[in-house]
Structure 1
């Protein structure tokens, strides 16, 4: 089983992959997600253990469902 640090890093990788696929920047995603840019940056680097509300906000900003996000997460 993965530890907390590995899970956070993998989440960040999945987030960056989706950002690239959607043609967004971290700043644009932060605006669309209504999250602070610095927070999105830390998430993308795997430095944050997220709350569920932040996961949902990111998915809304990416215009995907949480299921779609975690399909990418599982593929990494």
Structure 2
């Protein structure tokens, strides 16, 4: 459920340059699929608004934006 919603947010943040299905199916980083740095910032805003978490804009936080599984684990932690 969370991973599906995150994939939808990726699609929205990238203006569908990366579809939700591509985000779910891919084994490569989301940036390799076409999620730009602007898309990453939109994704951060969307994740923070939807899940009530704060995404750190550190190297580790930004690296997490490339991996849907890591994002899902991050937002699932209370």
TM-score class normalised by the smaller sequence = 0.3 to 0.5
Normalization by structure 2: what TM-score? 0.36
Structure with the higher helix share, 1 or 2: 1
